[in-house]
Amino acid sequence: MLAVDLGQSGTRIRMSDLSISSTRGKLAGELPLAALRAVFASTEKLSAEVVSLSCSGFFGTVSDPAPFLALCNEFFGADKVAVIDDGLAGFVGALQGSNGVVLSIGGGVVSVGGRDGKFAHRDGLGSTFGDEGGGFWLGKLGITKALAARQGRCDEPSFLEFFEAQLTSYDNLVIRDSSDAASLAIASAQTLLDAADAGSPTAISIRTEGASLLAKTVIATWLGAGGLRDDAPEIAIHGGPSGNSSYVRAIQGFIAADLPNASFVSARGDNLDGAQWIAENMLADAPPLLRWGNEV
């Protein structure tokens, strides 16, 4: 069994003791199938009967698994494929069966909750219309404010100092609404969070707004899974920007104001762990977040 986690910032592949990481992820505006083909074409030759695919870019509704089965048959000789919204893979990997919500923050945002077998999916809507509080959102606002500071349109002129390297990269972009621009925004999220930790009022304001938006996403996920405000769900927050403890504490604080009995836990695993567990244990479709493709 081969497990794959396709994200916006890269892809990871695991088969038994073999682990492969690629910086090639799902580009802005790219469909998961095309992104996977690009990744597999640059991956060493492998063989597997079952392939489990955790993918960014489904927006909560997994598409027809047949093309994914054909792709995995072409590259790995697979005759069975699990196609999984990355939010569900993250939920399963992090909580391993407990009732609660898993908030995955990378370049984008996806939140999946489960309560006694009922699942809910929130955000994961893409950077143009969603992914509020995620890496793209943070970095994009940071660069936007830094550009404003450079033009004298920001109340904190010194904010520009935090983003000097990012603005050099921005100036070097040939097309400023391209996938390279999106990648720059995602990579700039950490700069924004570092600026907030350094006391920048502009950065703190962005961080606070992002935390509030993410908390609302978590609460909506729990209620959507049939949870109640006085329940005690486990809440796990993982992904790149969650490495900043100040951001996590802010998110948790907003959540606790609405779900006072929530228990904040560390993720017990990640999307790749979830993809592997699903392939071994969830052998039936769980629409719209999981669909199986089988060779007839």
What are the boundaries of each domain within the chain?
A: 2-89+270-294, 97-267
Q: What is the pTM of this model?
A: 0.81
C-alpha neighbours within 13 Å on the C-beta side of residue 230: 0
Q: Specify which residues 54 forms β-bridges with.
A: 5, 84
Compute the average pLDDT of residues 4-30: 91
Distance CA 147, CA 40 (A): 38
Compute the average pLDDT of residues 32-36: 97
- Tell me the pLDDT band of 209, cut-offs 50, 70 and 90: very high
Compute the average pLDDT of residues 48-56: 96
Domains 2-89+270-294 and 97-267 share a fold: yes
Mean pLDDT, rounded, of the chain: 94
pLDDT: is 116 or 52 the higher one? 52
Q: Specify which residues 22 forms β-bridges with.
A: 11
Share of the chain above pLDDT 90, in %: 81
Compute the average pLDDT of residues 201-211: 98
Given a cut of 80, is residue 230 above it in pLDDT? yes
Is the CATH number of domain 2-89+270-294 3.30.450? Answer: no
Asked if 183 and 118 count as a contact pair (C-beta separation under 8 A), the reply is: no
Is the CATH number of domain 97-267 3.30.360.10? Answer: no
Residues 88-120 pLDDT 10s = 998 999 998 799 999 989 888 989 999 998 899
Given a cut of 70, is residue 208 above it in pLDDT? yes
Helix axes 135-150, 189-197, angle to 10 degrees: 70
Given a cut of 80, is residue 36 above it in pLDDT? yes
